[in-house]
Amino acid sequence: MKKVLALLVALMMVGVMGTATAADKLVVGTNAEFAPFEYIGDDGKIAGFDIELIDAIMKLVGVEYEVISIEFDALLPALASGQINLSISGMTINEERAQNVLFSEPYFNASQKLMVVEGSAITCAADLKEGMKIGVQMGTTGDLYATDNLPAEVLRYNKILDAILDMKNGRLDAVMTDAAPSDYYAKAAGGLTVLPEELSEEKYGIAVKLDNTELIEKINAALAQLVEDGTYETIHAKYFTPAEE
Contacting residues toward ligand GLN, per CB under 6 A: 31, 34, 72, 89-92, 110, 137, 140-141, 178, 202
In DSSP terms, which residues pair with 39 in a beta bridge? 33, 47
| Beta partners for residue 47, in sequence order | 39
Residue nearest to ligand GLN (CB): 140
Which CB sits closer to ligand GLN, 1 or 157?
157
d(CA 190, CA 150): 26
Instruction: Mention every residue, 6+ apart, whose C-beta is less than 8 A from residue 213.
Output: 102
Cβ atoms 130, 112 nearer than 8 A: no
Q: How far is the CB of 87 from ligand GLN (least distance, A)?
A: 10
Query: In this complex, which beta carbon is closest to ligand GLN, that of residue 69 or of residue 120?
Result: 69
The CB-of-47 to ligand GLN minimum distance in angstroms stands at 15
Smallest separation, CB 60 to ligand GLN (Å): 24
CA distances 230 to 68, 73, 75, 170, 227, Å, are 27, 32, 29, 44, 5
Q: Which of 180, 166, 140, 198 is nearest to 50 (CA)?
A: 180
For the bound state, the minimum distance from the C-beta of residue 108 to ligand GLN, rounded and expressed in Å, comes to 9
- The residue among 83 and 106 lying less far from ligand GLN, judged by its C-beta, is 106
Q: Which is nearer to ligand GLN, 141 or 231 (CB)?
A: 141
How deeply is 167 buried, as exposed, middle or buried, from its count of CB atoms within 10 A (0-12, 13-18, 19+)?
A: buried
Q: How far is the CB of 29 from ligand GLN (least distance, A)?
A: 11
Q: How far is the CB of 140 from ligand GLN (least distance, A)?
A: 3
Residue 31 or 85: the one with the smaller Cβ distance to ligand GLN is 31
Q: How far is the CB of 88 from ligand GLN (least distance, A)?
A: 10
Output 17 or 91, the one with its CB closest to ligand GLN: 91
37 neighbors 49 (Cβ within 8 angstroms):
yes
Q: Considering only CA atoms, which of 83, 53, 93, 65 is closest in space to residue 200?
A: 93
Q: Which is nearer to ligand GLN, 31 or 231 (CB)?
A: 31
